[in-house]
A and B are shown apart, each in its own frame.
Chain A
């Protein structure tokens, strides 16, 4: 009983101390920020941080739409979701004067299509999606998306694709060289037919399992995220991640300032804190993707700095972001996906 009281008092004191400097409510992905970094922020600023987590962009959007907007200060949507939230008027803006560390953002991530000039969001981590091949099974050329969509005999029937409409349809469009959010009948029919034809060579659809099937040998090739492929390699699979010549999907998670943030000042402090190279590097060392902040190299772990998954070859084709289609166009892509999986 006495111990309980002591604990309660300690908590009361702690929260009292924190209230003096205020609080910060973060809505974040699960397991995406190291606790030490949060503690460091609290130690530096005296701001107590509470973190709630989500497991997909869509569930975050749904929760905010269902009335949680106004309870959180910041959240961490991916590129296309930043645009959706901006279109829905769910984001606040900051000025360059407030965001004193804005200049730390790596130049190529400053003027991004989903937030031109960065007035609502700052980069958190970014990565890419393409495919990996088990080099014990197939030693040939893997520089084309044809490995997935028109596979060589050695890989037929041993391919896992992501169970994710966006990524499969975008990579398929890249392979055929047609734009995203197309409304051209011939192009969409070609995409539909190409996917149906490729499916006969696929063993399974799976996103969460995309690393495990490569490690276990259930699949000899598979669509995968670069960080996941690095982990598969670390777990002993002889896999090589490809940056195909047709292009690959790039995604970026961003910290956004939410509309009606209850602690706007503290949110700005937190975002500035995350733009410090040392702190950005701490996240990268934890999550194994890539930071969007310049000057993080001295703080990175050696293994992450040199991993082939995080360092595309100089001649790699550019990556593309997922585009947000309008409702009518999206319907067509939904139909193609249902058709593929029926």
Chain B
């Protein structure tokens, strides 16, 4: 910006005095929709739980104690590390990572295919990718359950062509959950990668081929570094909502085990609600995600410096 608009020297105050008020909407947005809710959550996580929902304004570490320390069912055993919630977190992270990987494996070639079509066809393909997302997520998830259930169309047709003799037990399995997450979040992977591939100059690939680079080397050394921002954006956009998802685990996985999303959800409803603990779990989750993103950003910065 500075390069494009040289500051008016004869009236140094005139222009810069406008900067603060012009930035006001931005600061208001960040303040009201980002800083305030996070602060609220942070404060609540240190408050005392009120029986049957709500909080008492006494500061305590009880919520974090409950998360990390196991004092036995009756609370009088010597504290050991509490694995319950760590297990729930680990299971959710693992599940989100697998969903992200599957989305990447399917999404990258899809995006590549679309980006290499003639411009008019691209619009049609993109339209086709986004069209299912005009339908509510809940309805799509329930429909998926109808399709894969034991006497549903998938099993019936597989059996009628003789591929299987007994229906595949798909509903209430991890496979069904993965399918649901994949189906829910695939466009979040395709669209950013498409945007990156579309800008890719294919003359670079030709130049690489002229210089005797194999296809693999071209992909690794030329294409991937150029479209990497798109891939990273896609992975983050899939990973983060998958981590907190509870529709797919509840409806397709049978809700037999807590996921991060359903664990936190349960703390804010029901007569057994525990708001400070829900806030603490959300804070811990956010901290984890931020650490991962910061490690990535640092690695990225180092890579660019190289």
Contacts and interface: CB of A to CB of B under 8 A. Distances in A.
Interface string B85-115: 1011000000000000000000000000000
Contact of A199 (B171, B256, B271, B274): B256
Interface string B266-305: 0001111110000000000000000000000000000000
A205 interface: yes
Interface string A140-166: 000000000000000000000001011
Nearest to B256: A205
A341 B74 CA distance: 18
Interface residues of B, number: 30
Contact of A342 (B171, B257, B269, B274): B257
A205 B85 CA distance: 19
B151 interface: yes
Tell me the interface secondary structure of chain B in the complex: loop
Contact of A217 (B73, B85, B150, B172): B150
Most buried by B among A56, A216, A337: A216
B172 A203 contact: yes
A62 B272 CA distance: 13
Contacts of A206: 250, 254-255
Interface string A55-78: 011110110010000000000000
B247 interface: no
Interface string A161-183: 00101100000000000000000
Contacts of A205: 254-256
A126 to B, nearest CB: 19
A58 B53 contact: yes
A330 B50 CA distance: 12
Interface string A25-60: 000000000000000000000000000000011110
A86 B149 CA distance: 46
A188 B73 contact: yes
Contacts of B88: 342
B271 A58 contact: yes
A327 interface: yes
A165 to B, nearest CB: 6
A209 interface: yes
A199 B172 CA distance: 13
Contacts of A327: 51
Nearest to B88: A342
A335 B73 contact: yes
A57 B254 CA distance: 24
Size bracket of the A interface: 35 or more
Given A84-B52, A218-B171, A332-B74, A204 B256 contact: yes
Contacts of A202: 256
B182 interface: no
A192 interface: yes
B258 A342 contact: yes
B151 A330 contact: no
A339 interface: yes
Contacts of B52: 58, 61, 84
B84 interface: yes
23 contacts: A58-B53, A58-B273, A62-B53, A84-B52, A163-B255, A165-B270, A203-B172, A204-B172, A204-B254, A206-B254, A206-B255, A218-B149, A218-B150, A327-B51, A330-B272, A334-B274, A335-B73, A338-B258, A339-B84, A341-B256, A342-B85, A342-B87, A342-B257
Given A163-B250, A205-B256, 15 more contacts: A58-B269, A59-B269, A62-B54, A188-B73, A199-B256, A203-B172, A204-B255, A216-B146, A216-B149, A334-B272, A338-B84, A341-B256, A342-B85, A342-B87, A342-B88
Interface of B: 51-54, 73-75, 84-85, 87-88, 146, 149-151, 171-172, 250-251, 254-258, 269-274
